Chain A
Amino acid sequence: DAGVIQSPRHEVTEMGQEVTLRCKPISGHDYLFWYRQTMMRGLELLIYFNNNVPIDDSGMPEDRFSAKMPNASFSTLKIQPSEPRDSAVYFCASSSRGVTYNEQFFGPGTRLTVL
């Protein structure tokens, strides 16, 4: 398996623009997680899905952030409009409770810079 795939790897945008981050989980995994990592706040869980259904979105910072999982092999995290304080590395991870015993497999991350 190719592992968790994220795109783009780097994104530079201007304040006010819409940003869409993409994630393809490992085939067969039924959980998908979105994290944000910054120097100041460390690693934060934003939202996670089980079988494509959002389970907990309490970590989503504000209404400018939204996440979808239209099918088992694809998820998006959208920021609209983006702000400089959204600059961070965004990680996607997937797992299978029954197979991996909640071990999460992380993608390489998307480094977002909002100017």
Chain B
Amino acid sequence: AQSVTQLDSQVPVFEEAPVELRCNYSSSVSVYLFWYVQYPNQGLQLLLKYLSGSTLVKGINGFEAEFNKSQTSFHLRKPSDHISDTAEYFCAVSDRGSQGNLIFGKGTKLSVKP
């Protein structure tokens, strides 16, 4: 069975500092990988996704993630944060041959302070 582990439940950083949100997954088959962001009192929206090809994926708002198959990781990074990045971030995995559902991690709350 697939699973997703987000190693940090909360990550506090200062504005303009770099940040990395960690995500590890467990799957015996090829996968699609996603990062979603949820701003306060809003729904989830897609930040970026890995389907195939280049392992470095760029998303909205300056975020990027790198797929590492050997380490089964898909860590999210941003070189310089803004206060507006304060939100909860969810990593998700889907089996390429699955019925269509995503397995979500428990989320990481990023708090960017001035």
Interface residues of A (CB under 8 A from B): 30-31, 33, 42-43, 45, 48, 50, 55-56, 91, 93, 95, 97, 101-109
Known: A91-B43, A91-B44, A108-B43. A102 touches B104 (CB 8 A): no
Contact (A103, B49) CB under 8 Å given A42-B106, A50-B99, A55-B99: yes
- Chain A hits for B51, CB < 8 A: 101
B45 and A106 form a contact (CB under 8 A): yes
8 sampled A-B residue pairs with Cβ under 8 A: A30-B100, A55-B101, A95-B100, A101-B49, A101-B94, A106-B45, A108-B43, A109-B43
Chain B residue nearest to A32 (CB atoms) is B100
Say yes or no: B100 contacts A106, CB within 8 Å. no
Of all chain B residues, the one with the shortest Cβ separation from A45 is B101
Using a CB–CB cutoff of 8 Å, the interface residues on chain B facing chain A are: 32, 34, 36, 42-46, 49, 51, 90, 94, 98-102, 104, 106-107
In contact, A102 and B94 (Cβ under 8 angstroms): yes
Assess the B104–A43 pair: CB atoms within 8 A: yes
Are B104 and A48 in contact (CB-based, < 8 A)?
Answer: no
A interface, over-half SS? strand
